[in-house]
């Protein structure tokens, strides 16, 4: 009997305890949701964007809070560097500064990010969209990966989209889906022109795009409340300059000559496919470095170019061929290559390669030279 009473008493204590824990958890969640709603309303008052404080936005914020905040904290130096640079160009182009958060949604601030569809860089430009907005792509340089040039191109493109749809939510939806899909959604909604009203008629990815953007804006704006400090003191590269090269140079040559970390030079110059900056008569290519390092280079400019030239001459490694899209190249067949693989690499048809090289069958051999007119530039 006594054992039975003890068992019942213990069960009651555990039940009450579990109830209290559950109640406290609910209270914490409720407080957190109330806090998020309050902060979103504050953001809405100071931004040009129409911020809907709906369940979906709150769900994304809660889902990303722990994982994204940890990610941001581990990469805060990179975030501060890019966000300051974005802000400078957005301000010059009279674009809302909050759009500096867009590349976080697009690429998580990875300049070499490539989507399944082939969108590339911080701002995720497709090849033709990049080309229309002034971004070059050849076998040595992909300007979609250049942080500064791609940001300038994004500003141009966003300005065009805002001229089509003078509402920043719709302009961002167009950035993601294209102006045609937004036009179609407006038509299917019966002519409505508010993003939240046409949202059910947009492609699924675009319907989630603005909520993700708002959630990202919230997480960065209130990062300090979650223990992440995005202050300027974390920007290791606050004073950066760009130097037009007068001859081809290697990033490694720069690092060795200046005794400056190669990883830092790579970070500042991600768009050079082979880590070589080519010299072109008709187009300037830039080396990005801290201003102090540029001063050092300029004061020893002749010595540096002589050193770089000697290093290239002494290298046993042959330099990659320079070519642009649709230019004629001679591709050297490598071990493991076959026509389908080469065709995919350069964005052409197998039948085209056969026609250009007068091949009767599919047989090719290692070290054979094939004429190709690339429709896309491979990354390596």
Q: Token pair 């791609």 is at which residue?
A: 150
Two tokens at 309? 């030239």
Q: Is 250 helix (H, G, I), strand (E, B) or coil?
A: strand
What separation in angstroms does the CA of 371 have from each of 125, 139, 296, 317? 29, 16, 44, 22
pTM: 0.81
Could you tell me which residue, 359 or 377, shows the higher pLDDT? Answer: 359
Positive or negative, the CA dihedral 132, 137, 141, 147 is positive
The residue whose two tokens read 């941001």 is 72
Where does the pLDDT of residue 235 fall: very low under 50, low under 70, confident under 90, or very high at 90 and above? Answer: confident
Name the band, by pLDDT with cuts 50, 70 and 90, for residue 102: very high
Distance (Å, whole) CA 99 – CA 357: 49
What are the two backbone dihedrals, phi and then psi, of residue 107, each rounded to the nearest 5 degrees? -140, 5
Q: Which of 1-10, 75-84, 269-278 has the lowest mean pLDDT?
A: 1-10
pLDDT digits (tens, 9 = 90+) for 333-346: 999 999 999 999 88
Q: What is the dihedral of CA 218, 222, 227, 233, to 10 degrees?
A: 110
On the question of pLDDT at 321 being above 70, the answer is yes
Q: What is the DSSP letter of 142?
A: B
Does residue 23 surpass a pLDDT of 60?
no
Q: Which two tokens stand for residue 218?
A: 């919230």
CA distance 300 to 309: 14
Catalytic sites, residue numbers: 106
Judge contact between 142 and 273, C-beta under 8 A: yes
295 touches 241 (CB < 8 A): no
Taking the CA of residue 111 as centre, how many other CA atoms within 13 Å lie in the half-sphere pointing to its CB?
22
Judged against a pLDDT cut of 90, whether residue 301 lies above it is answered with: yes
Q: Which of 98 and 3 is assigned the larger pLDDT?
A: 98
CA separation for the pair 159, 162 (Å, rounded): 5
pLDDT digits (tens, 9 = 90+) for 147-201: 999 999 999 999 999 999 999 999 999 999 999 999 999 999 999 999 999 999 9
- The helix (H) or strand (E) run that includes residue 274 is none
Looking at every residue in the chain, the average pLDDT score rounds to 88
Return the SS3 of 138. strand
Cβ pair 267, 224 in contact under 8 A: no
In sequence order, which ranges of 316-368 are alpha helices (DSSP H)? Answer: 339-346, 350-357
> Strand runs (DSSP E) across 222-361, as ranges?
240-244, 249-250, 276-277, 286-290, 329-332
pLDDT reported for residue 95: 96
When pLDDT is averaged across residues 302-330 and rounded to a whole number, the result is 88
For residue 287, the 8-state DSSP code is E
Q: What is the DSSP string of 123-134?
A: TTB-HHHHHHTT
């Amino acid at each position: 009997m006594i054992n039975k009473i003890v068992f019942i008493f213990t069960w009651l204590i555990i039940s009450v305890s579990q109830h209290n824990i559950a109640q406290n958890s609910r209270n914490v969640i409720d407080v957190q949701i109330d806090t998020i709603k309050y902060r979103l309303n504050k953001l809405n008052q100071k931004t040009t964007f129409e911020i809907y404080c709906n369940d979906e936005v709150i769900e994304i914020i809660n889902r990303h809070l722990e994982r994204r905040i940890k990610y941001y904290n581990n990469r805060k130096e990179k975030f501060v560097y890019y966000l300051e640079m974005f802000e400078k160009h957005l301000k010059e182009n009279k674009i809302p500064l909050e759009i500096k958060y867009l590349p976080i949604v697009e690429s998580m601030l990875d300049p070499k990010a490539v989507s399944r569809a082939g969108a590339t860089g911080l701002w995720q430009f497709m090849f033709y969209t990049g080309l229309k907005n002034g971004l070059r792509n050849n076998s040595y340089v992909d300007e979609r990966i250049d942080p500064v040039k791609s940001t300038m191109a994004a500003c141009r493109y966003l300005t065009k989209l805002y001229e089509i749809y003078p509402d920043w939510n719709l302009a961002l939806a167009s950035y993601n889906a294209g102006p045609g899909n937004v036009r179609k959604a407006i038509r299917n909604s019966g002519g409505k022109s508010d993003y939240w009203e046409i949202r059910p008629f947009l492609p699924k990815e675009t319907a989630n795009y603005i909520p993700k953007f708002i959630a990202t804006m919230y997480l960065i704006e209130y990062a300090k409340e979650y223990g992440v400090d995005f202050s300027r003191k974390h920007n290791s590269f606050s004073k950066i300059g760009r130097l037009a090269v007068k001859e081809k140079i290697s990033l490694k040559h720069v690092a060795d000559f200046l005794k400056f970390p190669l990883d830092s030079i790579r970070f500042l110059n991600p768009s050079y496919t082979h880590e070589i900056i080519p010299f072109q008569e008709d187009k300037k290519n830039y080396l990005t470095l801290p201003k102090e390092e540029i001063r050092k280079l300029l004061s020893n400019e002749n010595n540096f170019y002589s050193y770089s030239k000697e290093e290239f001459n002494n290298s046993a490694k042959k330099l990659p061929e320079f070519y642009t899209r649709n230019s004629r190249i001679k591709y050297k067949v490598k071990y493991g290559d076959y026509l389908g693989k080469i065709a995919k690499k350069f964005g052409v048809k197998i039948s085209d390669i056969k026609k250009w090289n007068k091949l009767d069958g599919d047989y090719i051999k290692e070290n054979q030279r094939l004429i190709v007119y690339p429709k896309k530039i491979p990354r390596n």
